[in-house]
Chain A
């Protein structure tokens, strides 16, 4: 594998943020909002950039080895979830630690809706694409059902109240193994099958440029498409009426009420939207694990645990609260680096040798690093990497 393919590895995320940074100039994320006045030529250039990004994303799986694709798809699950959370925390100003609960809701809903029930678990046997849409809708509905709490509380009170959902989901998954699978062996969900194209195909017959298009490649395309769709929907919400209402609520509830914004309603809507994003990310997590849905043994470590909720918080803080592009970069930092460092340094092994001669795995210190990064970023660059990027591009333009 040459250096050029490695450069490709950072291609998709770097490209996406480049465009986003250019865009936020006119989209004014900090509340001045309004219709962005876009020069026609600039508009055309933006379409060209998006087109180029799509082409690059299409080509990436053909050039990139499978293990990098696995890292990229994992980063994209994080990116989708983090976009939801950054809207809730950064735009609406509501702290939520329930993101991993909604991952579980999305994953379980998809699995129950799509599997046919022949394996002894509860299943409805719906078409997979319909199940995906319904799973996202169910996550949104569960988020909306939390409205009596999410609409009234703010700050740490909402944070801890939403954390209770993670505990609730953990207990429910344990006492209902026929729905969520057992904690030891779990249960399997079906791959997404769109017009006969199986996105989890393990023994592919299709090949492009001599590269067999197997599960990794297919999932990459699927996840890239879902991430782009999620990004555009979120962009629309943030730049539109809803986003302005959220920022009004965040900045001053009394003023928002005077302007005719229903504070309780907007808080609940933000919570439901962020839940829908987490639900989609939850389905992506299940696919990423080869369709395996397995509840956690412990509430504080595992796929749907409090630790994951905090990892998502770390993503949106590191990326920059409220910034969608930042959420994607944050996902790359939090989900990507622990996996990519061992890949880059020693090919495949999971441990890195330090100067003292003791081997350690980067995964071990990730939470220590998130904790420290969260504190440092809030103290020294509250806008996160997004603000850093904006300042950098502004400086480049000036010179």
Chain B
């Protein structure tokens, strides 16, 4: 029974990781770049949803509000991700490999601090102008609990399933199905596959590689934004640094699944979520329990990198060792 409960918890957590991990892996598949700031895109998504709610529906928790919040989340994440690609990554495409990594870390810090200082104070220290009365993001900010998720939890034979759990897992299923359709059935999706296999030949075939790269960032941002909303509904609050650890875990998931492989990212995310929940529940003694919950991701990351750098489903690559 305890096992089944942890299975549900692990899958929920894993779905979140998987949604974020897809963003790392899609971008990597196209331009072999680890977008270290992707965790912040997830955070921006959550804040985008909250802002949409505060501006248009403050106090309203009807079900139909949720899709509009998700659209708001996706819009803000996509805008930030595309700006990021344009400003900080595109000029560095032919720079030494360390350069985009360092800008990514800089952007990550910058975005976190911008939300922390600027969410209720968009002009920073120039004025206290705050038209929509946004709350201060220096602490945790409560996330609106929409009616879909507030109801009583389902109880299936003693296993408690929260309504937000269903939302999270459902979001992963829908997004994965949409991604599958997009990548394998649409023109743009096939162009993406072509670019990831051979960018130069793809360019000769008339594919606009710059556009495909932006599409990759947009896909990653969309899924991360959905994950941001799911996280807000799940934990009931959001904060400016939520993207950091979540980003690291999702990165681990992407590496575990085999970076560059979209299904690997989903599999890696679910595996990591399950391992984390099970380890916290079933490992006894000093190393068990929630204080160590974040250590498992790092342990897995290091083990995978040292012993199986291509991950579970990835192709053999030599660039990280």
Whether B113 lies near A371 (C-beta < 8 A) is yes
Chain B, Cβ-Cβ closest to A310: B109
How many Å lie between the Cα of A234 and that of B111 in the bound state?
34
Q: A313, A355, A372: which contacts B105 (Cβ < 8 A)?
A: A313
Whether A367 lies near B109 (C-beta < 8 A) is yes
Instruction: Point out the residues of chain A lying under 8 angstroms from B123, CB to CB.
Output: 356
Q: Does A159 contact B (CB under 8 A)?
A: yes
Whether B106 lies near A160 (C-beta < 8 A) is no
User: Given A149-B305, A164-B302, A367-B109, A374 and B34 touching (CB < 8 A)?
Assistant: no
How many Å lie between the Cα of A382 and that of B299 in the bound state?
34
Instruction: Point out the residues of chain A lying under 8 angstroms from B286, CB to CB.
Output: 175
Q: Does B140 contact A (CB under 8 A)?
A: no
Whether A157 lies near B98 (C-beta < 8 A) is no
How many Å lie between the Cα of A163 and that of B101 in the bound state?
14
Give the dominant DSSP class at A's interface. helix
Q: A155, A167, A321, A354: which contacts B294 (Cβ < 8 A)?
A: A167
Q: Does A161 contact B (CB under 8 A)?
A: yes
User: Given A95-B101, A167-B298, A371-B107, A160 and B251 touching (CB < 8 A)?
Assistant: yes
How many Å lie between the Cα of A365 and that of B302 in the bound state?
34
In the complex, how many residue pairs between chain A and chain B have their CB atoms under 8 Å apart?
136
Whether B102 lies near A313 (C-beta < 8 A) is yes
Instruction: Point out the residues of chain A lying under 8 angstroms from B113, CB to CB.
Output: 365, 367-368, 371
Chain A, Cβ-Cβ closest to B247: A160
Task: Give residues 117-165 of A contacting B (CB, 8 Å).
Answer: 148-149, 152-157, 159-161, 163-164
Whether A356 lies near B127 (C-beta < 8 A) is yes
Residues of B near any A CB (own CB < 8 A): 34, 36, 87-88, 91-92, 95-99, 101-114, 117, 123-128, 241, 244, 248, 251-252, 255, 286, 291-292, 294-295, 298-299, 301-302, 305-306, 319-321
The 6 closest A-B CB pairs, nearest first, are: A371-B110, A374-B106, A164-B298, A371-B109, A368-B113, A375-B106
Q: A155-B97, A174-B291, A379-B88 are in contact. List 19 more A-B contacts (CB 8 A).
A: A89-B98, A156-B251, A157-B255, A160-B248, A161-B298, A356-B127, A358-B127, A358-B128, A365-B113, A367-B112, A367-B113, A368-B109, A371-B106, A371-B108, A371-B110, A371-B112, A373-B106, A375-B88, A379-B91
